[in-house]
Amino acid sequence: MTDTSLDAAGPAYAAQAISLSGSIAPFTTTTTLTASPNPLGDGQVVTLTATVAPAPSGTPDGTVSFYSGTKLLGTATLTTSGVATLTLSNLVVGTDRIIAVYSGSAGFLPSTSAAVSLKITTSYTISAPGTPFDVPEGGFVTVNIKVPPLGGAFNSTVTLSASGLPAGATAIFNPPTVVPGTAGAQTVMTIQLASLSASIPARQIPPHRGGFPAASLSLAFVLFGTVLARKRIPRGLVLVLALAGLGITTSLLSSCNGGFANIPQTRAGTYAVTITGTSGTINSSATITLVVE
């Protein structure tokens, strides 16, 4: 009787399928390794991904150990698709030779990946005060931002930006770019809230209940007075009509509590503003709390 279970494994494994004793021999495996990002800055997170083929079946089916030279960086268990991942953020500046070693399992032999050269460069961080910043509606606030280097001198340009600002607010950095160097650099961020705008609140405008609204009526009085003046009507009558129109207009404004109110465009509340420094593929950020009163 022919054992057809070997056909599913494919011809690549037929040569090692049956030993002289008639037992099924374990399959050889291949392990590949990738690192992302590469290169990366000091303190950045790197993800090491090992893929074992063919994907071992069953749970669990072995582990993958990641090494930098002979130093063990960490161990991860394979998923059902034959993938193991490890994330690190504590690698030091320099170039590491990373390998991944699959431990093997029932029916699958161990394997080791080719080495991947992982370059870790000097970097920087963003430092901002942790205390909340209070700012009145329509006002502004200044925040001192520090950009110190990590792992040694960082001599490239870092561009600053801000996100999470309240609606209508703007953020300006002075200077907008810095070079941390060996001692670090500083910049000042100014957040300007939207300015107050004068308007008549809709809820305070008297409703139009038929006939002419008061504003239209007052305008009519003024225009009518102008026409009478051109027809040489006594000035006294013209003056009376003009004052009447002015009185109606004043009454309208009085009913609106003075007519105009300062309506802020930025709502009061608490906002988390993120400051980000970008230099090539390296990004670092910090968050401040902005309280709009």
Could you read off the pLDDT of 37-79 as tens digits, one per residue?
A: 999 999 999 999 999 999 887 655 789 999 999 999 999 999 9
Q: Are residues 143 and 189 in contact, defined by beta-carbon separation less than 8 angstroms? A: yes
Residues 188 and 207 in one domain: no
Q: Are residues 245 and 238 in contact, defined by beta-carbon separation less than 8 angstroms? A: no
Nearest to 158 by CA among 167, 166, 149, 171: 149
Residues 130 and 73 in one domain: no
Residues 203 and 245 in one domain: yes
Residue 245 phi/psi, 5-degree rounding, is -65, -40
Residues 128 and 114 in one domain: no
Domain boundary residue, one of 94, 121, 148? 121
Cα(81)–Cα(122) distance, rounded to whole angstroms? 36
Q: Are residues 139 and 133 in contact, defined by beta-carbon separation less than 8 angstroms? A: no
Mean pLDDT to the nearest integer, 71-98? 95
- Tell whether the model's pLDDT for residue 242 goes beyond 60: no
Domain boundary residue, one of 121, 145, 174? 121
Residues 153 and 230 in one domain: no
Cα(86)–Cα(82) distance, rounded to whole angstroms? 14
Which CATH number goes with the domain that contains 99? Answer: 2.60.40.10
Domain count for the chain:
3
DSSP H or E segment with residue 229:
helix 214-230
Residues 111 and 17 in one domain: yes
Residues 51 and 162 in one domain: no
Could you read off the pLDDT of 109-130 as tens digits, one per residue?
A: 999 999 999 999 999 999 999 9
Domain boundary residue, one of 121, 152, 183? 121
pLDDT, the chain, mean: 80
DSSP H or E segment with residue 228:
helix 214-230
Strand-pair partners of 226 = none
Residues 192 and 221 in one domain: no
Residues 157 and 269 in one domain: yes
Q: Residue 78: what pLDDT?
A: 93
Q: Residue 257: what pLDDT?
A: 47
Domain residues for 286? 124-196+265-292
- The tally of CA atoms less than 13 A away on the side-chain side of residue 66 is 28
**What does pTM read for this prediction?**
0.63
Q: Are residues 38 and 118 in contact, defined by beta-carbon separation less than 8 angstroms? A: yes
CA 248 to chain centre: 54
Cα(13)–Cα(23) distance, rounded to whole angstroms? 14
Residues 186 and 272 in one domain: yes
Q: Residue 259: what pLDDT?
A: 47
pLDDT-derived band of residue 195, with 50, 70 and 90 as boundaries? confident
Residues 108 and 176 in one domain: no
Could you read off the pLDDT of 259-274 as tens digits, one per residue?
A: 445 555 778 899 999 9
287 vs 220: which has the higher pLDDT = 287
Residues 9 and 105 in one domain: yes
218 vs 153: which has the higher pLDDT = 153
